[in-house]
Structure 1
């Protein structure tokens, strides 16, 4: 069974081989709540009303800590607050929220599922095939990964244009066109992929050095870079994982 909802302005799909609909609806309800509370595009959201001095909800505290961590780790290339712009933690919220949704599914006893939040994926309980979109061919993939109990997140400029800003310069990050991170949880995968993209070419090695992270990246010259260990997950052309 595959369920799809439009949340956060993007399609979020959930594949459930055993059809646990009630648990799925709980996960979608959480994602709707995140959209309501943490969207920078909703006038009365916690993000739109953000005051650095607080008070903050517990969930906002988690988001702020993620933003501070990756700003520090990237020397300011990743920033949730850019000069002349309001607070926007979108670079970490989607992965954080989807990981929490996956945790809700597991707590409800769902052993096998694949949650895809606009291309950021958590695959659990069995081996799933996860494609990395080709940056120049919207209907093609440049690689397919066979993943189990892993998360995959991709940051790129091909879907939403130059929306990732290098916080050190205030300019769009243009040295990469795609950077994918594979690791154990989607909170980390999403934050690391966004932060690494903001770093540019230096972000490839930086992301690969983060604990437990494997990287597949394509630079602006269309050269492919990937962690050697990622070869163990690559599906050979003409074959597919289950």
Structure 2
């Protein structure tokens, strides 16, 4: 089964290779992602995130999900010394860098709980793969029609942060300026929650982010720095 929908501003594709697919499981995945967009988007005035940012919700009035997301944002802010920050000066609360990976990982867990064993869930280029191996390409940061590498991924997640799609949109919270030390950084981790947040946080750190991400438990890193040098950890699962 293959299905693609536009959710949260990017294409989300689901491929299931099992012989028997539980009824309604794909609907549940996309319904959840649409719910997340409604509840957590900082661009929707009535979302829980927007209401919190305007001071309409107190700490005791937050959903368990938003409390978890904000806790993850604080974890990465602390771990990077403020380079990663969901509350940048002059901007509203924006937890999207955590919400994307967290929500897609939850969707993958919905699939697994329903008994789906072999699937690939791709959200705007960030991937959760079960079963496998699945071949996942790392896009060249300067040439959209080329790949830097191809990974062989089994029961893991892959996320990439870069400047090639949205320009200098990742800001170093320590300086308030765009992070420009890297062209792209890919993280392979056990969950997309970890892979996506780590990739964004490491990119915000700049060149020092490669070593920082590599030191995190279970994370492998493939990066291209501003000098166009490739840096990768030994455990990156390159396809043969």
Bigger mean CA offset, 40-49 vs 7-16: 40-49
Q: 1:110 aligns with which of 95, 108, 116?
A: 116
Alpha-carbon RMSD: 1.1
- 2:180 is equivalent to residue 178 of structure 1: no
Q: Give the match for residue 36 of structure 1.
A: 38
Q: 1:215 aligns with which of 215, 218, 221?
A: 221
Give ranges in structure 1 of 5+ residues lacking alignment. 237-242
After TM superposition, give the deviation of residue 197 of structure 1 in Å: 0.3
- Segments ≥4 residues shifted beyond 6 Å: none
> C-alpha deviations, 1:38-83, integer Å up to 9, x for none?
0111111111111474221000001000000000000000000011
Structure 2 Cα separation of the partners of residues 160 and 2 of structure 1 = 27
Q: 2:131 aligns with which of 116, 125, 131?
A: 125
Q: Give the match for residue 194 of structure 2.
A: 188
Structure 2 Cα separation of the partners of residues 36 and 129 of structure 1 = 32
Q: Give the match for residue 11 of structure 1.
A: 11
> C-alpha deviations, 1:125-171, integer Å up to 9, x for none?
12100000011111211100001001000001101111110000000
After TM superposition, give the deviation of residue 24 of structure 1 in Å: 1.1
Structure 1 residues 14-29: aligned runs within 5 Å: 14-18=14-18, 20=21, 22-29=24-31
Structure 2 Cα separation of the partners of residues 53 and 196 of structure 1 = 31
Structure 1 residues 73-88: aligned runs within 5 Å: 73-88=79-94
Structure 2 Cα separation of the partners of residues 144 and 125 of structure 1 = 17
Structure 2 Cα separation of the partners of residues 28 and 178 of structure 1 = 28
Structure 2 Cα separation of the partners of residues 93 and 26 of structure 1 = 18
Structure 1 Cα separation of the partners of residues 32 and 58 of structure 2 = 26
SS at match of 1:49: helix
Structure 1 Cα separation of the partners of residues 215 and 58 of structure 2 = 34
Q: Give the match for residue 160 of structure 1.
A: 166
Structure 1 Cα separation of the partners of residues 189 and 176 of structure 2 = 29
Structure 1 Cα separation of the partners of residues 120 and 102 of structure 2 = 16
SS at match of 1:4: strand
Structure 2 Cα separation of the partners of residues 98 and 72 of structure 1 = 24
Q: Give the match for residue 239 of structure 1.
A: none
TM-score, with structure 1 as normaliser: 0.94
What is the aligned residue count?
Answer: 234
